[in-house]
Structure formats: C-alpha cells, structure tokens
Amino acid sequence: MIKAMCWDGAGTVTQLQYTLDKIPKLFEEAFGVPAAKFMEVWEPWEARQEMNEITNTEAWQHVFADFGVAPDVNRAIEMYKATIAAVPGVLELIAQLKKDRVQVLADSECAEYEAYREEKLDFLKLFHHQCSTYLCGFLKDDVRFYEAIFRKTGLKPEEHLMIDDKPVKIAVAKQAGMQTILFKDVEQLKKGLRSLGIDC
C-alpha cells in the first residue's frame, strides 16, 4: 500500500520544460550569447549548486564568465523567476491527496531556486517533508537520495510512490525499491494513481 507520494519539483510540480525552452532564448536576446549553447554551459554549474557546492549567484557568475560576457546576475535571476509556472492541476491534486497520504517534495534543486518558486507559488505548505538535493547531499541519480526520503518518512521503500518526468531518475527510484509513475501530464498521472488504488 502506498503511504507516501514523492514529487519531483521541476517537471511535475512546475513546468520545467517551459523554463528550459524559454531561458536560452531570453539569455540570447538579453546578452547576445547563442541559445543553442546555453544548456551545455549551464548544466555543470547547475549540478554544483544543487549540491550546495556553490550558490545560485556564483553559478550565474560562472555562466557569464564561460560565455565571456559582462555579468548581470540580478537580471538573469529575474528572467528565470519570470518563467516559473505550476503544472496546471498538480498543486490542487497534491492538496487533495495530502488528506490521506504523506506528501514529499523530492527535488533536484538549490536553496535559492526553491525560494524563488515558493515566493511565486506558495507551494511548500502542501508537503509534509522536503528532501531536495541541496538538503540531503545526494543527486537524484544516486540511490542514497531515495534512502534519505525513507529516513524522513519512516516508511518502507515499497510504501513510497515516486512521480518524476525523467526516465533515468525513475529507474533509480525503482532500484531503491519505490513504486513509480513517469509523469507526462495530469490526466495520465491521475489514471496511473487510480490504477494503484489511489482515489483522485
């Protein structure tokens, strides 16, 4: 029986793909750097900030340096914040499901981005526990990330459901013993939840 539901923040709760589509283009328009190169430059610094090795401000400073353009970190952050949007229907679904099951934010995120999303969406109150990468010290491609969730909830691995939009992370969650749903959209998610005996 599923007693805890674990949600990837960027991709199931907020519209990660919308941000990934928008930011490179906005960065190109604002700073004249090629949109096609943005993610290649950004991702290594993103991974380091998710592990609390550097701050979000430092990550942006490195990105500007790698592109060889004058830094404007505040403008970059405001551009990111403008792309934050909830996946339609998900916050309402979590609020409904919270009545009967433990809800966990299981996120690849840094502290600053979590704060930006909270400022815009006021969503952390929906979760009983938060296990973001910057808090637990492991990335989501590491089974120890999921073991940190089990310690927080005090439940067995098989009593957890991981909802994520990335197949690689779903595979690691399964390896950790969790039940999983690969998220595509809210209606597909509801169908998957009902197949597991969860009313929604």
Predicted local distance difference test score (pLDDT) of residue 83? 87
Residues of the chain with pLDDT under 70: none
Residues 31 and 128 in one domain: no
Please, are residues 165 and 11 in contact by the beta-carbon 8 Å criterion?
Answer: yes
**Which of 82, 105, 135 lies at the terminal end of a domain, its last residue?**
82
- Return the pLDDT at 180: 98
pLDDT at residue number 108:
87
* Domain extent for 159: 4-15+85-195
Does residue 99 share a domain with residue 63?
A: no
Q: Are residues 173 and 108 in the same domain?
A: yes
Same domain, yes or no: 60 and 131: no
Indicate whether 200 belongs to any domain.
Answer: no
Q: In this predicted structure, what is the pLDDT of residue 150?
A: 98
Q: Tell me which residue of 126, 132, 125 sits closest to 97, measured CA to CA.
A: 126
Reference 108, options 157, 59, 153, 165; nearest CA is 165
Distance of CA 178 to the CA centre of its chain: 18
Ramachandran category for residue 154: left, alpha or beta (phi over 0 → left; psi -120 to 50 → alpha): left
Q: Are 161 and 79 in contact (CB under 8 A)?
A: no
- Domain final residue pick, 35, 60, 82: 82
Q: How many domains does the chain divide into?
A: 2
Tell me what pLDDT residue 15 has: 86
Q: Are 64 and 109 in contact (CB under 8 A)?
A: no
